[in-house]
Amino acid sequence: MKMTFRWYGTSDPVSLKYIRQIPGMYGIVSAIYDIPVGEVWPIEKLRALRDSIEAAGLKFEVVESVPVHEDIKLGKPTRDRLIANFQQNIRNCATIGIKVICYNFMPVFDWTRTEMAMELPDGSFTLAFDAEAVAKIDPEKGISLPGWDASYEPGQLKSLLAEYKNVTEETLWGNLEYFLKAIIPVAIEANVKMAIHPDDPPRPIFGLPRIVKNRDDLARLVGIVDSPANGLTLCAGSLGADLCNNIESLVREFGGMGRIHFGHVRNVAVKPDGSFYESAHLSCEGSLDLAQIMKAYHDVGFEGYIRPDHGRMIWGETGKPGYGLYDRALGAVYINGLWEAVCKFTTAPVAKAQH
């Protein structure tokens, strides 16, 4: 297991220097943020990013994410040019040493929350999703969500939602299949593993289809192109927001097949109505058993990348919600602790922690 930390580049208030000081930290997960979605990331930019990360004593082997243009998800005629660009991005990433590329296939909205700073009883602040509040939103009247307000102009959002009107789950599957059949051969050639991120939360929202939500979806996905290059980012907190998903058994099944390349490990406190908040990583704070999850990673001999996922805002820290330094650092140290214990006290099969 290689421990990593997401970093948003030079504008990130969290410095590489501080990330390096987290015990057991192997590398950085990042992306190029100033190139429009669908365009090619210049090698020089990737190289500069890698060099700045390596200068701080960390590795850069995982990209999160290369965004997938909506025209690809919609299956529009323009998709072939955009897919060619995506293929080029895979090659460019490989050239500078990237081993795993995370991406997702969620229409319009990536992760969705109703609150970015819900106060918990201990005085920390976290991201939360209120199922009732989301159910009350009428997309026709406009959707205003924290974290997304700046991403779309109201008119642009309206027309995008209109384009998805006739896109069913099966249409979206068809478009994902077309995309995978085009990109996975390129990834194989470039020796890069693609790792799709599941839907967050794992259910349709605002009438938009979502297709990477549960065990059956993951099984269907890995079957589309039967290659280790067609793999998963197993996001415990995203899938865990549906209590029917058993994260340990997903790790055992898909990790056992060698299809998990990147693990997002975090906890989430889920209510029966599907509302949830992102709790501290510790098992007793949320609905997931992180010790069992790490044991499952160990038992399948996992050698890929892990990162603590969103953290709460604690100790007065301000910054990008979910992506402060302190609570994610606590998460990383906790996960490393579980991993050390599981490696020491479980006999077989032994997967050696690599630091």
Residues designated catalytic: 197, 235, 264, 309-310, 323
Pair of tokens at residue 326: 């302190």
Query: For the residues of 152-212, what is the DSSP string, one character each?
Result: S-HHHHHHHHHHTTT--HHHHHHHHHHHHHHHHHHHHHHT-EEEEEPPSSSS-BTTB----
Distance CA 307, CA 323 (A): 12
- Per-residue contact string for residues 69-108; x = within reach of ligand DNO by CB under 6 A: ---------------------------------xxx----
* Shortest separation between residue 68's beta carbon and ligand DNO, angstroms: 8
What part of residues 178-237 is at the interface with ligand DNO (CB under 6 A)? 197
- By beta-carbon proximity to ligand DNO, the closer residue of 111 and 297 is 111
- By beta-carbon proximity to ligand DNO, the closer residue of 274 and 308 is 308
Distance CA 209, CA 211 (A): 7
Tracing tokens 């309206």 back to the chain, one arrives at: 158
- By beta-carbon proximity to ligand DNO, the closer residue of 299 and 309 is 309
> Which H or E run includes 30?
strand 27-30
Q: Is residue 267 near ligand DNO by the rule CB under 6 A?
A: no
- By beta-carbon proximity to ligand DNO, the closer residue of 110 and 242 is 110
Q: How many residues bind ligand DNO (CB under 6 A)?
A: 10
Residue 243's nearest CA partner among 263, 268, 277, 266 is 268
Q: Is residue 299 near ligand DNO by the rule CB under 6 A?
A: no
* Shortest separation between residue 307's beta carbon and ligand DNO, angstroms: 10
Cα angle for residues 201, 310, 62 (degrees, 5° grid): 95
**Residues near ligand DNO, by CB under 6 A:** 64-65, 102-104, 110-111, 197, 310, 322
